[in-house]
Amino acid sequence: MSELLNALPPIVVYVLIFTVKLIEVAMAVVRIVLITKGEKLKGSVIGFFEVIIWVIVAATVITDITEDPFKVVVYAFAFAIGNYVGSLVEKKMALGTVKIEAIVKKIHGKTLSSELRTMGFAVTAVDAYGRDDRKEVLFLHVPRRRVDETIHVIKSFQKDVVITVNDIRPIYGGHGILRK
């Protein structure tokens, strides 16, 4: 393998190191997210290929490192960019479930809950008291890929709504998306 790399122009080697390291680190980001969301098997499979790639790239960088220390800079730069790219990939994949909590005026609570239910969401509504008037707190467990859509619907009912979104790992029960 090292003979093949030595035959290539240095710029090609740098591009290869950068590209492969970027892919490896992006895979690592996705693997970590999968494991934290309870997808251990998928994360382990990605980890297997990630380590194979890491060993090959690390060996390439370490070989003749004193003659070409720029490989280390390329490797480090690819690591940094790989984290960024991995987070973008993970965001696009929108893995997992979130809990959305919306504090709305009482007058909007029932209508908004009904609208969200027609969209297929389970909604739990709780009466509450705000500083100036009655409120209703709506709790929803939503697939991450539908967060923006859900927030848009909630805001269409009330502009000054209070919304929080938290990553969760559903364990048991509920309507629709939770594990049984």
Q: Return d(Cα 54, Cα 123) in angstroms, integer.
A: 45
Residues of the chain with pLDDT under 50: 180
In the chain, where the domains are located: 2-93, 97-168
- The HSE-up count of residue 106 (CA atoms within 13 Å, CB side) is 9
Please answer whether residues 128 and 136 qualify as being in contact, where contact means their C-beta atoms are separated by less than 8 angstroms: yes
Strands 162-168 and 123-129: unpaired
62-90: per-residue pLDDT in tens? 988 888 899 999 999 999 999 999 999 98
Alpha helices in the chain (DSSP H): 2-7, 10-36, 40-62, 70-93, 106-118, 147-157
- How far apart CA 128 and CA 133 sit, in angstroms, is 9
User: Do the beta carbons of residue 128 and residue 71 sit within 8 Å?
Assistant: no
Closest to 108 (Cα-Cα) out of 162, 157, 159, 150 = 157
Q: What was the pLDDT predicted at 139?
A: 96
Which CATH code is given to the segment(s) 97-168? Answer: 3.30.70.120
Expressed in angstroms, the distance from the first to the final Cα of the chain is 50
pLDDT given for residue 172 in this prediction: 62
**Which pTM was predicted?**
0.72
Q: What is the pLDDT of residue 180?
A: 45
> What per-residue confidence (pLDDT) applies to 173?
63
